[in-house]
Structure 1
Amino acid sequence: MIGDRHIAALDQILELVVLVNDDMTRSLARAGLTVSRTHLLWELRRHGPTTQRDLAAALKVSARTVTGLVDGLETTGFVSRQPHPTDRRATLVTFTERGRQTVEAMEHGQQEFAHLLFAEMPAERFDGFTAGLGEILDRLRGIGLAQSQPGDDR
């Protein structure tokens, strides 16, 4: 049976989602990025120079959508298209210097944010927190509401 404490916990999760999303959206906008464009940059960081077809598969979007994202990132100087070394029909999307520096700065910001949120939390509480989040994510994945993220062991 769902009790008031379960509803209160869900309310806290929803508030956390809103706060983190608002902060992320503002931060990305300052860098001239959107969430979708940033997702593409993270995939490029993860895989290195990549074809648009592979980016579309990784992002689970259409080729047309990726073309629009890459066009926008190329226009703003974050990525460039290079000839594929072995496939004349394909091009590789790769970082420009601006794109590489931006992703490195985002990684640094992510580390600082994690430190701000978790550094002072006692280890036992932190372990319980991450275990609980893992259970929630597993449950959501089990009903098809969440996707595994890079680095997940699941």
Structure 2
Amino acid sequence: MFELSVLMAGYIEHSLAERGLTRARATVVWELFHRGPMTQRELSQALNVTPRNVTGLLDALQEGGFVDRNPHPTDRRATMVSITAKARRAAKAMNEDHRQFAQRLFAAMPQDDLTLFDATLTGVLAQLREVTDSD
């Protein structure tokens, strides 16, 4: 398991670096891509990090042209965060990269084995979420 996590992390880090993103910054882009614009507070809650951490991530992402921050339309205390066209392209490319990587990784696996692997992995991920959520 450790070797798998190290190899996967290395692949992901390399892939993201080619797009000018770190894993943390890519997570922000991914959340905004899938959930749409939100306040910085909502984003910090979605990522389960402090608002200060989100501010640092957003500063770097805004500087890189990945996000825009604008005043909230009805709450003058809040700031809305949205992704740019550049971030949208990056999120779509990340999705395609993951799809191609999975195809390459599992190309030689018979369909029955792949189906069993998928079911097993789904169970393992559910258990892992439960364990990490309870800590």
- TM-score w.r.t. the length of structure 2 is 0.90
The match for 1:45 is: 33
Kindly report structure 1 stretches of 4+ aligned residues shifted beyond 4 Å.
Answer: none
1:79 aligns with 2:79: no
Q: 1:132 aligns with which of 95, 120, 123?
A: 120
1:60 aligns with 2:48: yes
- For residues 146 and 136 of structure 1, the distance between their equivalents in structure 2, rounded to whole angstroms, comes to 14
For structure 1, the residue ranges without an aligned partner over 5 or more in a row are 1-12, 148-154
Q: Give the match's secondary structure for 1:89.
A: coil
- For residues 99 and 87 of structure 1, the distance between their equivalents in structure 2, rounded to whole angstroms, comes to 25
Offset of residue 138 of structure 1: 3.0
- For residues 74 and 109 of structure 2, the distance between their equivalents in structure 1, rounded to whole angstroms, comes to 50
State the one-letter code of the partner of 1:127: T
The match for 2:87 is: 99
Offset of residue 146 of structure 1: 6.0
Offset of residue 56 of structure 1: 0.3
Mean Cα deviation higher: 40-49 or 78-87: 78-87
Tell me the percent identity.
46
Offset of residue 79 of structure 1: 0.5
The one-character-per-residue Cα deviations of 1:76-102 (angstroms, maximum 9, x if unpaired) are: 111110222222221211111211111
- For residues 89 and 146 of structure 1, the distance between their equivalents in structure 2, rounded to whole angstroms, comes to 31
Please identify the structure whose Cα radius of gyration is greater. Answer: 1
1:115 aligns with 2:94: no
1:145 aligns with 2:129: no
Preserved contact between residue 79 and residue 93 of structure 1 (Cα < 8 Å)? yes
Could you say which structure has the greater relative contact order, defined with CA pairs below 8 angstroms and 6 or more residues apart?
A: 2
Preserved contact between residue 137 and residue 146 of structure 1 (Cα < 8 Å)? no
Offset of residue 14 of structure 1: 1.9
Q: Give the match's secondary structure for 2:132.
A: coil
State the one-letter code of the partner of 1:22: G
- For residues 15 and 146 of structure 1, the distance between their equivalents in structure 2, rounded to whole angstroms, comes to 23
**Number of equivalent positions:** 134
